[in-house]
Amino acid sequence: MSAVSGTRVNLALDANGGDHGIDVTLPAALEALSQEPELNITLVGVVDDIEDRVDFASHPRLKWVAAESVLAADAGPLAAIRKGAGSGTGRAIQMVADKAADACVSAGNTAALVALGVKRLGVLPGLRRPALMSDIPCEGGMTSVLDLGANLDVDARQLMQFAIMGVEARTLQGGPPPRVGLLNVGHEEGKGHAVVQEAHGLLRELPLNYVGFIEGHDIYAGKADVAVCDGFAGNLLLKSSEGLARMLFNELKEVFRHDFRSRCAGLLAKPALRSMLEQLDPGKHNGAALLGLGGVVVKSHGSADATATVHAIREAMREAQRQVPDRIKEAIQRYGAGEST
């Protein structure tokens, strides 16, 4: 199946999701529309003064759909399914299910987003659960890591399926076949618990570019293009990476403010530092794809600002254009990796 890059994409954006709601989603939507002429955005949510915030007549590719409620930030899966249908999150996902949108983006609660995604869009045939995937900076580029928190407890077959999903999503970026690594506590064959040992055996049987076990530091060294793990380890890895990046930002600022010499050194090093810090900035890589659903859903970080939200919107647009769900469905069938096999 060929990618459809350049085709128009209708995207539903959860207006109230995240820490900042409409104060971030509206400017992000306007900025994304200015960058992407093939993009239409429908904001979905509860905002009493939305007509005072934006002149929709001046933005023909921006629309508004009112929701009935705002899903609580701490809503669990059951609460999301019972009460979330009329929320901005629920309605944005339903628009994808109804083919009124090609993709949706939300910065809302991850557990609620996964629950509503599974309920409204369904999981692709042969898969048991979706997985969150995002990029982490590494030497020479980016490593795509999944799962990042959708599944805290997984079995070996799920890890194998995550690898296939990650490869299909990563392949669309071009280049040679992605190298797949399985996160473990060591490289040796006998290391790790029974689940990763079994997954290791399954992955070796697939025609993937599987490089075997990798450790945490291998991700940052760029030893794999796709790193596979359970959601517990993946979420810890992601949050640790974000915390480390923020600490580096703050430490460098303090170092170059220390005295006159430091300020002079900072001015000389500014171009190189800016390039490095942009590579490490979590906001530059915002947007975790919820792979394995029957439609495109992208999770934006809850604390994302407008710039970071634009990155999530563009990620969802690319996935819709490249028909990622269809490619994953075909790959699972091609490799005989479904649950019924």
In the chain, pLDDT over 70 holds for what percent of residues?
Answer: 90
What SS3 string covers the chain?
CCCCCCCCEEEEEECCCCCCCHHHHHHHHHHHHHHCCCEEEEEEECCCCHHHHCCHHHCCCEEEEECCECCCCCCCHHHHHHHCCCEHHHHHHHHHHCCCCCEEEECCCHHHHHHHHHHHHCECCCCCCCEEEEEEEECCEEEEEECCCCCCCCCHHHHHHHHHHHHHHHHCCCCCCCEEEEECCCCCCCCCCHHHHHHHHHHHCCCCEEEEEECHHHHHCCCCCEEECCHHHHHHHHHHHHHHHHHHHHHHHHHCCCCHHHHHHHHHHHHHHHHHHHHHCHHHHCCEEEECECCEEEECCCCCCHHHHHHHHHHHHHHHHCCHHHHHHHHHHHHCCCCCC
- Residues paired with residue 43 on neighbouring β-strands, in sequence order: 13, 64
Q: What is the mean pLDDT of residues 214-220?
A: 93
pLDDT for 113: 93
The predicted-structure confidence for 86-130, as pLDDT tens digits, reads as follows 999 999 999 999 999 999 999 998 999 999 999 999 999 999 899
* Number of independent structural domains in the chain: 2
Please indicate, yes or no, whether residues 126 and 143 belong to a single structural domain of this protein. no
36-76 tens-digit pLDDT: 999 999 999 999 889 889 999 899 999 999 999 988 888 88
Residue 208 confidence (pLDDT) above 80: yes
The answer to whether the pTM exceeds 0.75 is yes
Q: Is the pLDDT of residue 246 over 80?
A: no
Q: What is the CATH number of the domain that holds 222?
A: 3.40.718.10
pLDDT surpassing 70 at residue 4: no
User: Quick one: 222 and 144 in the same domain?
Assistant: yes
pLDDT of residue 189: 86
The dihedral of CA 228, 229, 235, 241: what is its sign? Answer: negative
Residue-range definition of the domain harbouring residue 140: 131-283
Are residues 250 and 319 located together in one domain of the fold? no
- The confidence score (pLDDT) of residue 269 equals 62
Looking at the structure, tell me whether residues 161 and 34 fall in a common domain.
Answer: no
Same domain, 118 and 150: no
Question: What is the pLDDT at residue 172?
Answer: 73
Whether 185 contacts 215, CB under 8 Å: yes
196 with 232, same domain: the answer is: yes
Is the pLDDT at 341 greater than 80? The verdict is no
Checking if the pLDDT of 340 tops 70, the result is: no
Q: State the amino acid at position 247 in one-letter form.
A: M
Q: Indicate whether 62 and 161 sit together in one domain.
A: no
Mean per-residue pLDDT, 312-332:
95
Q: What is the pLDDT of residue 1?
A: 36
Does residue 121 share a domain with residue 135? no
**What was the pLDDT predicted at 3?**
38
Position 339 scores a pLDDT of 77
Show which of 252, 283, 314 is a domain's final residue: 283
The better pLDDT of the pair 74, 164 is held by 164
Mean pLDDT, all residues of the chain: 88
- Measured between alpha carbons, how far is 189 from 67 in angstroms, rounded to an integer? 52
How much is the pLDDT for 268? 63
pLDDT level of residue 284 (50, 70, 90 thresholds): low
Give the max Cα distance, the chain: 67
Q: What is the mean pLDDT of residues 133-155?
A: 89
Residue 16 has pLDDT above 90, yes or no: yes
Mark whether 165 and 301 lie in a shared domain: no
The answer for residues whose C-beta is within 8 angstroms of residue 303's C-beta and 6 or more apart is 18, 19, 20
Q: Let me know whether 279 and 141 are in one domain.
A: yes
Q: Any idea which of 54-68, 229-243, 279-293, 314-328 has the lowest mean pLDDT?
A: 279-293
Q: Once rounded to an integer, what is the mean pLDDT over residues 304-323? A: 94
Mean pLDDT of 223-244: 89
- The answer on 275 and 151 residing in a single domain is yes
